[in-house]
Chains A and B, each alone.
Chain A
Amino acid sequence: MNKSLKRLDLIFKNEHDADVILEKSLKRSNEELIEDLISSGLKGRGGAGFPTGLKWKLSAEATGKEKYVICNADEGEPGTFKDREILSSVPHKVMAGMAICARIIGSQKGYIYLRGEYKFLVPQLNKTIDEFHELLDKLNLDFRIEIFLGCGAYICGEETSLFESMEGHRGEPRNKPPFPTDAGYKGGPTVINNVETLAHTYSIFKYGPEKFKDLGVKDSRGSKVFSVSGDTPTPGIYELEFGMTLQKFVDDFGDGDAKAVQVGGAAGFCVPRKKFDKTVIGYKGKLTGVSLPTGGSMMIFNSSRSMYNVLHNYLDFFVEESCGQCTPCRVGTQQLLLGIEAVKRGDKSSLYLEQLLSLAETMRITAKCGLGQSVANSFSSIVENFREEMIY
Chain B
Amino acid sequence: MKEQVNLKIDNLSVSVDEGTTILEAAKKINIRIPTLCHHEDLCVAGNCRVCVVEQAGLDRLQPACANPVSEGMEIFTNSLKVRNSRKQIIELLIAEHRAECTTCYKNGKCELQSLTNEYIVGENGFIPLVPLKGYTVDEFSPSIIKDDSKCIRCQRCVRTCDQIQSISALTVAHKGGEMKVSTFFEKPIYEVVCTNCGQCVNRCPTGALTEKVYINEVWDALYNPEKFVVVQTAPAVRIALGEALDMKPGEIVTGKMVAALRRIGFNAVLDTDFSADLTIIEEGNELLHRLKRALKDKDPDVKIPMTTSCSPGWIKFIEHTFPDMLENLSTAKSPQQMFGALAKTFYAQKMGVDPANMVSVSVMPCTAKKFEANRPEMRASGYQDVDYVVTTRELALMVKQAGIDFGSLPDDDYDSIMGESSGAAVIFGATGGVMEAALRTVYEVVTGREVPFDGLNITPVRGMENVREASIKIEDPVPEWDFLDGVEVKTCVAHGLSNAKKVMEAVKSGKADYHFIEIMACPGGCLGGGGQPLPTSPEIRKKRSEAIYREDSGKKIRKSHENPEIVQIYEEFLHEPLGHKSHELLHTNYVARQRY
Q: Render B35-53 as a binary contact track against A, CB cut-off 8 A, 1 for contact.
A: 0000000001011111010
- Whether B176 pairs with A322 at a CB distance below 8 angstroms is yes
Residues 312 to 366 of chain A near chain B (Cβ within 8 Å): 318-328, 330-335, 338-339, 342, 348, 352, 355, 358-359, 362, 364-366
Which of B59-67, B440-448, B560-568 faces chain A?
B59-67
Residue of B nearest to A339 (CB): B127
- Whether B89 pairs with A327 at a CB distance below 8 angstroms is yes
Q: Render B230-249 as a binary contact track against A, CB cut-off 8 A, 1 for contact.
A: 00000000000000000000
- Whether A362 pairs with B177 at a CB distance below 8 angstroms is no
Chain B CB within 8 A of A367 CB: yes
- Whether B175 pairs with A333 at a CB distance below 8 angstroms is no
Residues 277 to 329 of chain A near chain B (Cβ within 8 Å): 318-328
Chain B CB within 8 A of A82 CB: no
Interface SS, B side? loop
Given A328-B49, A359-B88, A333 and B60 touching (CB < 8 A)?
A: no
Complex-state Cα separation, A153 to B176, whole angstroms = 10
Partner among A172, A319, A366 whose Cβ is within 8 Å of the Cβ of B61:
A366
- Whether A177 pairs with B179 at a CB distance below 8 angstroms is no
Shortest A120–chain B CB gap in Å is 25
In the complex, which residues of chain B have a beta carbon less than 8 angstroms from the beta carbon of A175?
44, 46, 63, 66-67
In the complex, which residues of chain A have a beta carbon less than 8 angstroms from the beta carbon of B174?
324
Residues of A within 8 A of B (CB-CB), count: 38
Shortest A327–chain B CB gap in Å is 5
Partner among A326, A335, A368 whose Cβ is within 8 Å of the Cβ of B127:
A335
Which of B90-98, B313-321, B449-457, B526-534 faces chain A?
B90-98
Chain A CB within 8 A of B323 CB: no
Chain B CB within 8 A of A155 CB: yes
Complex-state Cα separation, A177 to B19, whole angstroms = 11
In the complex, which residues of chain A have a beta carbon less than 8 angstroms from the beta carbon of B92?
327-328, 331-332, 335, 359
Chain B CB within 8 A of A170 CB: yes
Chain A CB within 8 A of B126 CB: yes
Partner among B66, B81, B126 whose Cβ is within 8 Å of the Cβ of A335:
B126
Given A327-B47, A328-B92, A333 and B81 touching (CB < 8 A)?
A: no
- Whether B95 pairs with A335 at a CB distance below 8 angstroms is yes
Given A321-B175, A324-B177, A362 and B95 touching (CB < 8 A)?
A: no
Most chain A CB neighbours (cut-off 10 Å) among B49, B61, B126 = B49
Partner among B66, B81, B129 whose Cβ is within 8 Å of the Cβ of A331:
B129
- Whether A342 pairs with B127 at a CB distance below 8 angstroms is yes
In the complex, which residues of chain B have a beta carbon less than 8 angstroms from the beta carbon of A368?
46-47, 49, 63
Q: Render B153-188 as a binary contact track against A, CB cut-off 8 A, 1 for contact.
A: 101000000000000000010111111000000000
In the complex, which residues of chain A have a beta carbon less than 8 angstroms from the beta carbon of B68?
177
- Whether B46 pairs with A355 at a CB distance below 8 angstroms is no
Residue of A nearest to B154 (CB): A327
In the complex, which residues of chain A have a beta carbon less than 8 angstroms from the beta carbon of B95?
331, 335
Given A330-B153, A373-B60, A319 and B176 touching (CB < 8 A)?
A: yes
Residues of B within 8 A of A (CB-CB), count: 37
Complex-state Cα separation, A352 to B129, whole angstroms = 17
- Whether B175 pairs with A367 at a CB distance below 8 angstroms is no
Q: Render B126-139 as a binary contact track against A, CB cut-off 8 A, 1 for contact.
A: 11010000000000
- Whether A333 pairs with B176 at a CB distance below 8 angstroms is yes
Partner among B127, B152, B155 whose Cβ is within 8 Å of the Cβ of A338:
B127
Residue of A nearest to B48 (CB): A327
Residue of A nearest to B70 (CB): A177
In the complex, which residues of chain B have a beta carbon less than 8 angstroms from the beta carbon of A325?
47, 153, 155, 172, 179
- Whether A320 pairs with B49 at a CB distance below 8 angstroms is no
Most chain B CB neighbours (cut-off 10 Å) among A320, A334, A348, A367 = A334
Shortest A319–chain B CB gap in Å is 5
Residue of B nearest to A317 (CB): B176
- Whether A366 pairs with B48 at a CB distance below 8 angstroms is no
Partner among A320, A330, A342, A362 whose Cβ is within 8 Å of the Cβ of B88:
A362
Complex-state Cα separation, A364 to B172, whole angstroms = 24
- Whether A355 pairs with B49 at a CB distance below 8 angstroms is no
Complex-state Cα separation, A73 to B562, whole angstroms = 72
- Whether B127 pairs with A324 at a CB distance below 8 angstroms is no
Complex-state Cα separation, A212 to B153, whole angstroms = 47
Given A323-B176, A333-B176, A328 and B89 touching (CB < 8 A)?
A: yes
Complex-state Cα separation, A299 to B247, whole angstroms = 64
In the complex, which residues of chain A have a beta carbon less than 8 angstroms from the beta carbon of B85?
362, 365-366
In the complex, which residues of chain B have a beta carbon less than 8 angstroms from the beta carbon of A170?
172
Complex-state Cα separation, A322 to B178, whole angstroms = 10
Partner among A321, A327, A348, A365 whose Cβ is within 8 Å of the Cβ of B176:
A321
Complex-state Cα separation, A331 to B152, whole angstroms = 10
Complex-state Cα separation, A318 to B172, whole angstroms = 18
Complex-state Cα separation, A94 to B142, whole angstroms = 58
Partner among B49, B66, B67, B129 whose Cβ is within 8 Å of the Cβ of A334:
B129
Chain A CB within 8 A of B125 CB: yes
In the complex, which residues of chain B have a beta carbon less than 8 angstroms from the beta carbon of A155?
175
Given A331-B93, A362-B89, A366-B52, A323 and B61 touching (CB < 8 A)?
A: no
Shortest A318–chain B CB gap in Å is 8
A-B contact pairs, 18 of them (CB 8 A): A172-B172, A175-B44, A321-B175, A323-B179, A324-B178, A325-B172, A328-B49, A328-B92, A330-B177, A333-B176, A334-B177, A335-B95, A342-B127, A352-B125, A362-B84, A365-B85, A366-B89, A368-B63
| Interface residues in chain A, defined as those with a beta carbon under 8 Å from any beta carbon in chain B | 153, 155, 170, 172, 175, 177, 318-328, 330-335, 338-339, 342, 348, 352, 355, 358-359, 362, 364-368, 373
**Given known contacts A318-B176, A327-B48, A335-B127, what 7 new A-B pairs fall within 8 Å (CB)?**
A326-B47, A328-B92, A330-B179, A331-B95, A339-B127, A366-B89, A368-B47
| Interface residues in chain B, defined as those with a beta carbon under 8 Å from any beta carbon in chain A | 44, 46-50, 52, 59-61, 63, 66-68, 81, 84-85, 88-89, 92-93, 95-96, 125-127, 129, 152-153, 155, 172, 174-179
Return the 5 tightest CB-CB contacts between A and B, nearest first. Answer: A324-B179, A331-B92, A175-B66, A322-B176, A175-B46
